[in-house]
A and B are shown apart, each in its own frame.
Chain A
Amino acid sequence: MNLAIAEGEFVSFIGPSGCGKTTLLRLIADLEQPSAGALLVNGMSAGQARLTRAYGYIFQAPALYPWRTIEKNVMLPLEVMGYSHRERRERATRYLALVNLSGFERKFPWQLSGGMQQRASIARALSFDPALLLMDEPFGALDEIVRDHLNEQLLRLWDKTGKTVIFVTHSIPEAIFLSTRIVVMSPRPGRIIDVIECDLPRERTLEIRETAQFVRIAQRVRMGLRSGHSYDE
């Protein structure tokens, strides 16, 4: 795999289960070690990048700590990183407002729905302002309606904050809707089959999913995935 990702891009990785998309994300996050090859994040090794708190990771499950309120959960990375009490408060309020969860600060995770918990975990990942966001199928466990809603919110968030996002997903429409570039991967061992530049306009609404351009890109992605599968037969 040979790939370079520039700042401010939204890159989706799509591929069959077990092809290594999550592993790739974990390698970037320094949660696993590569067996071969070189990986540079912001020009340094993954380990060093982790120590400079260069990224926020969002898992498939919200993984909020159940004994902390939502506000305290969002403040958790800030506590770890040593921000002052006032800064922590202020950032938590700001980012919870950004994900439309104002007013839920004092609630506990079990009092929130799945979609809201996932939004809280996004706020948590954003709270310390990392330049890079690593998202591993964050909306996978949610229903279609909530998913659409969150996709829109995520896009607006990305536009507003200008972060680089690496997004892993199973869903073709989601990948195309959100990204500037789509990387299609083959099944195990994961290789890049195709890299598609998604030239849809930056300002997107959900209606764009019915346009001809969108459908064309979707076809290209689908072909890429199918050709990957044929290796198995």
Chain B
Amino acid sequence: MVVLALIAIWYCAAVLMNIGLVRDAFEREETGYTTGDLLSGSLAAERPRLPAPHQILATFADDIFGYPLTSGRSLVYHSAVTLSETVLGFALGVVFGIVLATLIVHMRALQKSLLPWIICSQMVPILAVAPIVIVVLGAIGIRGLLPKSIISAYLCFFPVAIGMVKGLSSPDPIQRDLMKTWSATPAQVFWKLRWPAAVPFLFASLKVAVTVSLIGAIVGELPTGAQAGIGARLLAGSYYGQTVQIWAALLAASLLAAGLVGVIDLSERWVGRRMGAQP
């Protein structure tokens, strides 16, 4: 229901936004036009301000199925590149976030001193940091996949760290007292109590982290004119005025994000079943 309503609104918006262009085009050619012409024109314009959904889908299908998978014009190729940057950045960010959270929970001193810095690190606009990171890394010879993954990791370690700090400190005093009565070592308390208790918090942060990581990867591709990836596609589309291509790339990005979140959701359910989550 909601989807149908959104699509209907989209079509109306497309007409409204493109009708100006179409009218100008007709007037330039000095041919007569009817409202019908205007309407159909606005839904099929070559360089629309807001492409209609069917235009986006057509270009999308074209870009996916119309070109060989490894060619520079295939959306599949670009999505794969962005996906690999995202996954690597996600992995790096998650590991770093978990390690940071573990340190914070176990060392009081770190809690007070680190948390403000972590929060500050996220306040710098990523669009400003990304080019700096890429240029600096490029200067020391690191190019290609890694710099964009580092930007992804930079963005996604934060939700993981914050979520895990909460999760690792979530056990009740009673559960901790029990461990004490059995004279458990701190390592045992960590692996048998804190870590399992933190799992629900971890999955919640992972869903946020994976979407942010994708954004990071795309943003990383923008500033220095990367040749491959969804960000690169967006750039190419804007250079050559191919608005529909841009929208098709955006559609690919959203599908990628939905897919990644879906994977995490499935893992969460599988783990939940093994760890006694209530259905």
User: Which residues in A have some Cβ–Cβ distance to B below 8 Å?
Assistant: 29-31, 50-51, 53, 55-57, 59, 61, 63, 65-69, 76-77, 79-81, 108-110, 128
Residue from the list A30, A50, A108 in contact with B276, Cβ < 8 A:
A108
Residues in chain B near residue A53, CB distance under 8 A: 182-183
Residue from the list B177, B178, B183, B276 in contact with A109, Cβ < 8 A:
B276
Tell me if B140 counts as interface (CB < 8 A to partner A). Answer: no
Take A51-B183, A56-B181, A66-B276 as given contacts and tell me if A80 and B192 are in contact as well, using a CB distance cutoff of 8 Å. Answer: yes
Tell me if B70 counts as interface (CB < 8 A to partner A). Answer: no
Tell me if B184 counts as interface (CB < 8 A to partner A). Answer: yes
Contact A79 B181 (CB under 8 A): no
Interface pairs A-B: 9 shortest CB-CB: A108-B276, A67-B275, A63-B174, A57-B181, A80-B184, A77-B182, A67-B196, A80-B182, A51-B183
Contact B181 A65 (CB under 8 A): no
Residues in chain A near residue B180, CB distance under 8 A: 30-31, 50
B146 vs chain A, min Cβ distance (A) = 36
Closest to A61 in B: B174
Tell me if B250 counts as interface (CB < 8 A to partner A). Answer: no
Residues in chain B near residue A109, CB distance under 8 A: 276
A30 vs chain B, min Cβ distance (A) = 8
Residue from the list B184, B196, B276 in contact with A69, Cβ < 8 A:
B276
Residues in chain A near residue B175, CB distance under 8 A: 63, 65
User: Which residues in B have some Cβ–Cβ distance to A below 8 Å?
Assistant: 172, 174-175, 177-184, 188, 192-193, 196-197, 199, 275-276, 278
Contact A31 B276 (CB under 8 A): no
Contact B174 A31 (CB under 8 A): no
Contact A63 B276 (CB under 8 A): no
Residues in chain A near residue B184, CB distance under 8 A: 80
Contact B174 A80 (CB under 8 A): no
A127 vs chain B, min Cβ distance (A) = 10
Residue from the list B172, B182, B199 in contact with A63, Cβ < 8 A:
B172
Residue from the list B177, B188, B193 in contact with A57, Cβ < 8 A:
B177
Contact A110 B276 (CB under 8 A): yes
Closest to B195 in A: A67
Q: How far is the CA of A128 from the CA of B175 in the complex (A)?
A: 18
Interface of B is mostly: helix
Closest to B177 in A: A31
Residues in chain B near residue A110, CB distance under 8 A: 276, 278
Contact A57 B276 (CB under 8 A): no
Contact B182 A81 (CB under 8 A): yes
Residues in chain B near residue A30, CB distance under 8 A: 180-181
Q: How far is the CA of A50 from the CA of B183 in the complex (A)?
A: 7
Residues in chain B near residue A51, CB distance under 8 A: 183
Q: How far is the CA of A110 from the CA of B184 in the complex (A)?
A: 25
Q: How far is the CA of A63 from the CA of B183 in the complex (A)?
A: 17
Contact A65 B183 (CB under 8 A): no
Contact B172 A68 (CB under 8 A): no
Residues in chain A near residue B181, CB distance under 8 A: 29-31, 50, 55-57
Residue from the list A56, A67, A69, A80 in contact with B188, Cβ < 8 A:
A80
Closest to A110 in B: B278
Take A31-B177, A59-B177 as given contacts and tell me if A68 and B182 are in contact as well, using a CB distance cutoff of 8 Å. Answer: no
Q: How far is the CA of A68 from the CA of B275 in the complex (A)?
A: 6
Q: How far is the CA of A66 from the CA of B199 in the complex (A)?
A: 12
Q: Which residue of B175, B181, B278 has the most chain A CB atoms within 10 A of its CB atom?
A: B181
Contact A59 B174 (CB under 8 A): yes
Closest to B171 in A: A65
Take A67-B276, A69-B276, A80-B192 as given contacts and tell me if A57 and B178 are in contact as well, using a CB distance cutoff of 8 Å. Answer: yes
